[in-house]
Structure 1
Amino acid sequence: MEQLSQIFLDFISTWGYVAVAVLMAMENACIPIPSELVLGFAGYLVFAGQMDFSGAVVAGMIGGMLGSIFAYYVGYYGGRPFVNKYGKYFLMSPSHVDTAQRWFDKYGIKAVFFSRILPVVRTFISLPAGFAKVSFKQFIFYTFLGSLPWTILILYCGMILGENWQVMRQVGHEASLVFVFAAAIALMVWYCYKKKRQN
């Protein structure tokens, strides 16, 4: 994995925004490439003056959206039997697909939105959305809304950490959970504030 990671980093160093888009597309197409690695390093390159923050966000979002759409259509047209049979050739873990399926079964289309900030689930949630043949417009809408804050957050963290950006690789999943916890608290505070003002 370490050798593959270095190949990905060299790819980003050489091809910049194109590489970020390609790798994020692969991750969101359910190929296990950590977004913390891709976006964290891109954030470092922003810190080093080799990338523009806005350009990196756009590249990450374009890649993420394209990969998500691909996974959605795999689920839509192939169904679970296709994924079970051929997923192993793309390093898809059945247990990861099962986890995403449980989230989708519990929360429906809204899972496509908030699962984008959750470890593992964010990569595979497009598949059960495709299995269920949810509205493509709704899928795109929730995917974009969920992916944008995650993309910005990881890029920003990589930029702020600078030469210490590799911390993102070590605490990536934990950072996701912290972000979820912080977002839940912020929503609760906002809700209480709004309710208080109404009274």
Structure 2
Amino acid sequence: MDQWIERVLEQFGAVGVAALMLLENVFPPIPSEVVMPWAGYAATQGFFSFPAAVLAGSIGSFAGAFGWYWLARKVGKTRLASWVDRYGAWLTLSRGDLDAVERWFDRWGTVAVFVCRLIPGLRTFISVPAGFSKMPMGPFCIFTLLGTVLWTAMLAGIGAWLGRNHEDLAGPLGWISTSVIIAMFVWWCIRLVRQTRQRTQQNVH
């Protein structure tokens, strides 16, 4: 998949970065921890500028986070939780995940929106309790954008630093990316099987 990501970035440039980061918010096995370092590396190879990589990644990621916020705000907790019980396994999202991020939000409020944007596994779904609680859109956008830009810039910076300090980074970065993607995919499959089994058992009882 890392080769596919590399081709997307080479073919579509910054637009490809934004699209992949948007997709990351919907399908976690495509993680930002892989996309943005590749984007930073691609910037050192002249495919686009480093600011363009950070801007595009931030736009795509913010759009995904805002989509979850808007959905939770419009649909409400009861209906969304019911949908998660049925189909959330495909997104590696469970009722327990919703409860966990909601506890974070209840404890830390708007600060959690910023902090959780820097924590893998929580960064996407922290938007959900913010939407449930009808957090004002202005503060949500500001805190989400700040956390998103910081996260994407940091990951892109790692890729750019490696690209400037190593003559041939594509090989090592490819192995690292492949390992991360395989681990994420295996984790996704395990959660999918586990949640599907739990749902089947609940239906039987």
Normalising by the smaller structure, the TM-score range is 0.7 to 0.9
Tell me the equivalent position of 2:150: 149
* 1:48 alignment partner AA: Q
2:31 aligned with 1:31: no
Aligned mates of 1:109, 1:27 — CA distance in 2: 23
Tell me, yes or no, if the aligned pair for 2:34 and 2:180 is still in contact at 8 Å. no
2:89 matches 1:93: no
| SS of alignment partner, residue 123 of structure 2 | helix
1:86, 1:133 → 2: CA distance?
A: 24
Aligned-pair distance for 1:83? 3.3
After superposition, the Cα gap between the structure-2 partners of 1:167 and 1:137, relative to the gap in structure 1 and judged at 3 Å, is farther
Task: Tell me the equivalent position of 2:127.
Answer: 126
Which amino acid in 2 is paired with 1:45?
A
Kept in 2: contact 1:42–1:155 (CA 8 A): yes
Q: CA deviation at 1:108?
A: 1.5
| Residues 17, 53 of structure 2: 8 Å contact kept | yes
Q: 5+ residue gaps in structure 1?
A: 173-199
8 A Cα contact 2:9 2:42, kept in partner: no
Partner of 1:176: none
Identify which of structures 1 and 2 has the higher relative contact order when contacts are C-alpha pairs closer than 8 Å and 6+ apart: 2
Matched, 1:65 2:62: yes
CA contact (8 A) 2:17 2:56 kept: yes
Query: Percent of pairs identical after alignment?
Result: 38
Structure 2: how far apart are the matches of 1:34 and 1:67?
13
- The letter of the residue matching 1:31 is F
Deviations 1:86-120 (A, max 9, x none): 3334x232144443223222212210011111121
CA distance in 2, matches of 1:136, 1:146: 15
- Separation in 2, partners of 1:81, 1:60: 31
Q: Which amino acid aligns with 1:42?
A: A
- Number of aligned residue pairs: give it: 167
- 1:14 Cα deviation after fit: 1.5
Map 1:5-84 → 2, pairs under 5 A: 5-28=2-25, 30-32=26-28, 33-78=30-75, 79=77, 80-84=81-85
The alignment's TM-score, normalised by the length of structure 2, stands at 0.72
* SS class of match (2:135): coil
What is the TM-score normalised by the length of structure 1?
Answer: 0.74
Match of residue 140 from structure 2: 139
**What letter matches 1:62 in structure 2?**
I
- Residue 166 of structure 1: how far off its partner (Å): 4.8
Unaligned runs of 5+ in 2: 164-168, 182-205
Which stretches of structure 1, 4 residues or more, deviate above 6 A after TM superposition? none
Which has the higher mean CA deviation after the structures are superposed, 104-113 or 158-167? 158-167
CA distance in 2, matches of 1:82, 1:142: 27
